[in-house]
A and B are shown apart, each in its own frame.
Chain A
Amino acid sequence: QQPVQSPQAVILREGEDAVINCSSSKALYSVHWYRQKHGEAPVFLMILLKGGEQKGHEKISASFNEKKQQSSLYLTASQLSYSGTYFCGTEVGYTGFQKLVFGTGTRLLVSP
């Protein structure tokens, strides 16, 4: 089932912070975060694995609550380049063949 993201959209001024949430109805093995700019492919930001391991972007942080089946992406001191649509991709269980189900997306606009 598709994970649900919130909020659907957010508008920030440069320098402000934002939190994007991703919630699944199923137990998760990993959560992957991507940013997609208009007309471009999704770009990998961060991966969070069951057990606490994280790999990804230096200026973006995220959390993964395995019990609540939720992940949050924290964008601090936002820059104009952060504008785009953010997707979480969730992996349910480890089978050796990674299969991600992508969320509904969150549109972020950072203005000067």
Chain B
Amino acid sequence: EAGVAQSPRYKIIEKRQSVAFWCNPISGHATLYWYQQILGQGPKLLIQFQNNGVVDDSQLPKDRFSAERLKGVDSTLKIQPAKLEDSAVYLCASRDPGETQYFGPGTRLLVL
């Protein structure tokens, strides 16, 4: 079974630029999550989708972050404009119904 796919794996941008991340969940997983993980900390939930609907986006900085999951499969997370404090690893995860979440390899973002 293929795992959660993410791209790109690494991204370096300057502050005030925009960036987008892509995630393809495990086939059949209706629930998809985006997390932000700052170095030395645990993953922090940004947004949770159930199919193509948003379940929880309470911790998403909506003035600069946006996410969508068209057709209930792939998802993109966008930051516009980026700030220095957005430097982190952005993890996508999908959930096996009745089980737990499985994470993708993540995208390491460095904002200069």
Interface residues of A (CB under 8 A from B): 2, 32, 34, 40-44, 47, 55, 87, 89, 97-105
Contact = CB atoms under 8 A, between A and B. Distances in A.
A41 B103 contact: yes
Contacts of B99: 47, 55
A104 B41 contact: yes
Name the residue in A47, A98, A101 with the highest tally of chain B Cβ atoms < 10 Å from its Cβ. A98
Interface residues of B, number: 21
Contact of B100 (A40, A47, A103): A47
A72 B107 CA distance: 30
B56 interface: yes
A34 to B, nearest CB: 8
Contacts of B48: 97, 99
A97 B102 contact: no
Contacts of B31: 97-98
Contact of B43 (A42, A43, A44, A55): A42
Name the residue in B56, B95, B101 with the highest tally of chain A Cβ atoms < 10 Å from its Cβ. B101
B45 A100 contact: yes
A44 B100 contact: yes
Interface in B31-57: 31, 40-45, 48, 50, 55-56
A98 B42 contact: no
B72 interface: no
A76 to B, nearest CB: 22
A44 B41 CA distance: 17
B45 A42 contact: no
Name the residue in B99, B100, B105, B106 with the highest tally of chain A Cβ atoms < 10 Å from its Cβ. B100
Contacts of A89: 101
A92 to B, nearest CB: 13
Contact of B42 (A2, A44, A97): A2
